[in-house]
Amino acid sequence: MRSDRLGETLLPKRIALPVFASDALSSVAYAPDEIFITLSVAGLSAYAFSWKVAVAVALVMLTIVASYRQNVHAYPSGGGDYEVATTNIGSFAGLTVASALLVDYVLTVAVSISSGVQNAASALGFVNGHEATYAVALVVLLAAVNLRGVRESGATFAIPTYCFMAAIIGMTAWGLARLAFGSLPAVSSAQFEVPSDTSFTHGLGTAAGAFLILRTFSSGCAALTGVEAISNGVPAFRKPKSRNAATTLLLMGTIAVTMLIGIIVLANVTHLRYVDPDSDMNRLTLDGVHGVQTAPGVAMFPNGVEYDQHTVVGQLSDAVFSNFPPAFYFTIAATGIILVLAANTAFNGFPVLASILAKDGFLPRQLHTRGDRLAYSNGILILAAGAIVLIVAFDAQVTRLIQLYIVGVFVSFTTSQIGMILHWNRNLRREKDRRTRARMMRSRAINALGASMSGTVLVVVLVTKFTKGAWIAIAAMVVLFVMMRAIRGHYRQVSEELAVDDDAEETVLPSRVHAVVLVSKIHKPTMRALSYARATRPSILEAVTVDVEAEETKALQDEWDRRDIPVPLKALASPYREITRPVVDYVKSIRRDSPREVVVVYIPEYVVGHWYEQILHNQSALRLKGRLLFTPGVMVASVPWQLHSSEGAEGRLEGPTPGSVRRGS
C-alpha cells in the first residue's frame, strides 16, 4: 500500500471499539473466575463478598476511563501514558511507563491466547495436553492478520467482539428475566460445598481475611487491562480523533462494567462454586465427602460422580440457556473466540508505542518504519515472539500467567495520572479565561481521583502478587528500562561522533589515493578488478598476492609478466600460510608511512545463484573485509563477477513485491 493511502486505514468508532477494546471487554470473561477462585479459599461464606469486590473493580474502571478521557483530549498524538509521563514528569518516568506497557502488552497476548485455548480445551478433546502448541499457532495467525494492516484486522475482529458483547449482555438480561419469573435453575456446581482453609476458620474478620479480600480485588482488577490501549491508539481513529477516542473509551467502560456486574450477580443467584482447576478440585465436597482431583478441573467422588468444572461463563450460560441450547453454544463460542482475539488490542498498541520509542531513540529505529501494508511490521513480529516465549515457558497456564499480569498497567495508570495533574497545574498558571479554567480544574480533579485510586490499586497488587509471580514482570520492566537507556546512549554517542565539524579531519582532502588489487590467480574477476581500479585513476596502483605456495606464486608472476599487465605485482610473504593477516599488515604499513593517504582495497568476488554455492566461494574475501573495515583510512571495494548459475537470480530476488498483483504489474 502506498504511503499516501495511510488515511484510508483510519478507523471509525464502530471498528475502533472492537479493535482497541477487545482486551478490556474480554477480560470480564476471566476476571470473575479469578475473583471466585481467590474467595473460595475462605469457603462458601466468602462468596458473599464477590459482588462488593465487583463493585469496587467497576468503580476503579469508571474512574480510570474518566481519567483517560482527559488524556486523549490533551495528548491525541498516540504517545499515551508514555508521552504524558515524559512531557510532564521527565524522561525517567516516561521510560518507566514505556517499559511497563511493553511488558503488559506481551502478557496481554500470552494471557488472552492461553485463556482462549483453555476454554476451547473443555469442548475440544484434541486440544487437551497440547494447549501451548495451539496457543503458539494462534499467536502466529494473529500476527499474520495484523501484518495485513490495521483496517483489515479491525474488520476481521469486529464481528466476534460484537457477538461476545451480545452474548454476555443477552445472557445477563435473560437470566435476570428468568429469575424474576422464578424459572432460573442453579448451575451445575451448586450441589457442591467448598470448605474453608484452616487459616479462615474464624471467617474473614482477621488480618488474613482482609489480605484475602485485597488479593481478590487485585485479581478482579484484571478486568481493567486494555483501558490504556485507546489512548495509545488515538492516531488510528478518524477525525475528530480525540473526540472519537473519548467516546469509544466511554462506550468500552460502560459495556465492560455492565458485563462484569451482570456475571457476578448471575453467579451469586445461581449458587456458583468455583475453585482453582489446577490444584483445588479435591477441596470440593459432595454430601460431606471430599472429591479426588484426577486431572486439571476434574474431581471424582466415591459415589461415582465425576465433576468436570467449566469456566464461570460456561456454567452460567449452561444454566441460563437451559431452555435454549443454541444460545448456550453461541455464548461459549463467542467467549472462546474473543479471548483469542483480545490479543489484537496489544497487536495494535505495542507496535505504535514501540514506533514512538524508536523515534525518540530508545528502541532500534527499524521499529519506527511501517511495512508494505502500512502496519508496523517489526513491532508486530517482536510482540508475537515475546508472547510465544511466555506461552511456552508457562505451558499456556492462565493461573500462572495471571500472577504476572496487571502490574505494568497500574504502573502506567498511576504515573500517567500524576503527569496529567502536573499538566493541568502548568496550564492553569497561564490560563486567564474563567470558563476554560473551570474546565481545567474539573479535569484536574478527575485525574487526581484517578491517580489516587490507581496508586492504591498498584500498592495492593504489589503486596498481594509480588511473591506469586509479579516479581518476574517487574524484573522484565527493569531489564527493558536499562536496555532502552543503553540504546538511547548508543544513538547519542553515535550522533556526536558523526556530527560534522568545520575543522574536522574528515573535511581535509587526502594527499593521495593508494589502490591495492588483491590477486589470487589471473582470471576474468581479477582482470575486471584491475580495470575498475585503473578507471578510478588512483595516485598509486598495485596488485598484491599472498605467497602461500612458492611454486604457485612464481607461476603467477611469470604469467603476469608474459601478459605484460601494466600494474606492478607484489607478493607478500606468508610463512604460516595465512592470507588475511599479511594483507592487513601490509595495508596498515601503508597507513603508517603515509597517514594522509587513503587506501582502497579492491577484492574480486564471485556472484553465485544458490546459497549452497556461497559456502564454496568468497570465504577469504569475507574474512578480509571484516578485518579491513575496522582499519582507519581504508576503504573496501567488492568487484563482482556473475557466474552462470547467477543468471536470472536478480529477477528471483526482486520477485513480485507486496501489492504488485493488485497494481497489475
Q: Do residues 153 and 377 touch, judged by C-beta distance below 8 A?
A: no
Handedness of CA 471, 474, 480, 485 (dihedral sign): negative
Question: How many other C-beta atoms are found inside a 10 Å radius of the C-beta of residue 250?
Answer: 15
Mutual angle of helices 31-39 and 312-320, in 10-degree steps: 100
Give the pLDDT confidence score for residue 482 in this predicted structure. Answer: 94
Residue at which a domain ends, from 458, 491, 524: 491
Residues 235 and 112 in one domain: yes
Query: Is the model more confident about 48 or about 533?
Result: 533
Residue 23 lies in a domain: yes
Give the pLDDT confidence score for residue 366 in this predicted structure. Answer: 80
Residues 253 and 213 in one domain: yes
- Which grid cell sits at 579? 592470507
Residue 417 lies in a domain: yes
For 149-197, how does the pLDDT look when each residue is reduced to its tens digit (9 = 90+)? 655 455 666 888 899 999 999 999 999 999 999 999 999 889 888 887 7
Give the pLDDT confidence score for residue 664 in this predicted structure. Answer: 40
Residue 45 lies in a domain: yes
Give the pLDDT confidence score for residue 518 in this predicted structure. Answer: 93
Residue 661 lies in a domain: no
Give the pLDDT confidence score for residue 55 in this predicted structure. Answer: 92
CB pairs under 8 A, 24+ apart, for 141-146? 142/109, 142/113, 142/340, 142/341, 142/343, 142/344, 142/347, 142/384, 143/347, 143/380, 143/381, 143/383, 143/384, 146/344, 146/347, 146/348, 146/375, 146/380
- pLDDT > 60? residue 625: yes
- pLDDT > 70? residue 270: yes
- pLDDT > 50? residue 208: yes
228 phi/psi in degrees, rounded to 5? -75, -10
Give the β-pairing of 513-518 and 306-308.
Answer: unpaired
- pLDDT > 50? residue 627: yes
Query: Is the model more confident about 557 or about 280?
Result: 557
Instruction: Give the chain's end-to-end CA distance (angstroms, integer).
Output: 14
Residue 301 lies in a domain: no
Give the pLDDT confidence score for residue 384 in this predicted structure. Answer: 92
Give the pLDDT confidence score for residue 9 in this predicted structure. Answer: 58
Residue 26 CB partners (closer than 8 Å, separation 6+): 112, 164, 338, 339, 341, 342
Cα 74 from Cα 67, distance rounded (Å): 11
Residues 269 and 335 in one domain: yes
Residues 368 and 423 in one domain: yes
Give the pLDDT confidence score for residue 152 in this predicted structure. Answer: 47
- pLDDT > 90? residue 457: no
Residue 89 lies in a domain: yes
Instruction: Give percent of the chain above pLDDT 70.
Output: 89
Q: Tell me the mean pLDDT in the region 549-574.
A: 92
Residue at which a domain ends, from 491, 524, 545: 491
- Which grid cell sits at 55? 463493585
Give the pLDDT confidence score for residue 200 in this predicted structure. Answer: 64
Which residue type sits at 439? R
Residue 365 CB partners (closer than 8 Å, separation 6+): 358
Residue 428 lies in a domain: yes
Q: Do residues 373 and 149 touch, judged by C-beta distance below 8 A?
A: yes
Q: Do residues 635 and 601 touch, judged by C-beta distance below 8 A?
A: yes
CATH of residue 581: 3.40.50.620
Residue at which a domain ends, from 442, 463, 491: 491
Q: Which of 404, 420, 422 is nearest to 412 (CA)?
A: 420
Give the β-pairing of 540-547 and 513-518.
Answer: parallel
- Bridge partners of residue 546, in order along the sequence: 572
Residues 418 and 530 in one domain: no
Instruction: Band the pLDDT of 454: cuts 50, 70, 90.
Output: confident
Q: Tell me the mean pLDDT in the region 107-129.
A: 76
Residue 627 lies in a domain: yes
Give the pLDDT confidence score for residue 661 in this predicted structure. Answer: 38
Cα 443 from Cα 82, distance rounded (Å): 19
Residue 176, class by beta-carbon neighbours within 10 Å (0-12 exposed, 13-18 middle, 19+ buried)? Answer: middle
Which residue type sits at 93? A
- pLDDT > 90? residue 339: no
Give the pLDDT confidence score for residue 503 in this predicted structure. Answer: 58
Q: What is the DSSP letter of 468?
A: I
Residues 246 and 130 in one domain: yes
Give the pLDDT confidence score for residue 445 in this predicted structure. Answer: 92
CATH of residue 78: 1.20.1740.10
- pLDDT > 60? residue 262: yes
Residues 571 and 472 in one domain: no
Cα 29 from Cα 170, distance rounded (Å): 14
Which residue type sits at 240? P
Domain that holds residue 411: 3-274+309-491
Give the pLDDT confidence score for residue 665 in this predicted structure. Answer: 42
Residues 395 and 512 in one domain: no
Residues 413 and 516 in one domain: no
- Which grid cell sits at 564? 605484460
Give the pLDDT confidence score for residue 29 in this predicted structure. Answer: 82
Give the pLDDT confidence score for residue 1 in this predicted structure. Answer: 56
Give the pLDDT confidence score for residue 367 in this predicted structure. Answer: 82
Residues 426 and 574 in one domain: no
Give the pLDDT confidence score for residue 134 in this predicted structure. Answer: 86
Q: Tell me the mean pLDDT in the region 15-23.
A: 78
Give the pLDDT confidence score for residue 172 in this predicted structure. Answer: 94
Give the pLDDT confidence score for residue 594 in this predicted structure. Answer: 86
Cα 508 from Cα 506, distance rounded (Å): 6
Give the pLDDT confidence score for residue 422 in this predicted structure. Answer: 92
Give the pLDDT confidence score for residue 651 in this predicted structure. Answer: 57
658 SS3 class:
coil
Number of domains observed in the structure of the chain:
2
Give the pLDDT confidence score for residue 202 in this predicted structure. Answer: 60
- pLDDT > 70? residue 386: yes
- pLDDT > 90? residue 265: yes
Give the pLDDT confidence score for residue 505 in this predicted structure. Answer: 56
Q: Tell me the mean pLDDT in the region 375-387.
A: 87
Give the pLDDT confidence score for residue 648 in this predicted structure. Answer: 64
Instruction: Band the pLDDT of 660: cuts 50, 70, 90.
Output: very low
Give the pLDDT confidence score for residue 130 in this predicted structure. Answer: 78
Give the pLDDT confidence score for residue 149 in this predicted structure. Answer: 64
Instruction: Band the pLDDT of 649: cuts 50, 70, 90.
Output: low
Lowest mean pLDDT among 131-145, 147-161, 587-601: 147-161
Give the pLDDT confidence score for residue 223 in this predicted structure. Answer: 79
pTM of the model: 0.72
Which residue type sits at 502? D
Residues 487 and 509 in one domain: no
CA angle, residues 303, 306, 312, in degrees to nearest 5: 135
Query: Is the model more confident about 515 or about 239?
Result: 515
Average pLDDT of the chain to the nearest whole number: 83
Q: What is the DSSP letter of 200?
A: G
- Bridge partners of residue 607, in order along the sequence: 642
- pLDDT > 70? residue 198: no
- pLDDT > 60? residue 654: no
For 520-560, how does the pLDDT look when each residue is reduced to its tens digit (9 = 90+)? 889 898 999 999 999 999 999 999 999 988 899 999 999 99
- Which grid cell sits at 291? 472429591
Give the pLDDT confidence score for residue 79 in this predicted structure. Answer: 61
- Which grid cell sits at 125? 478433546
Residues 432 and 533 in one domain: no
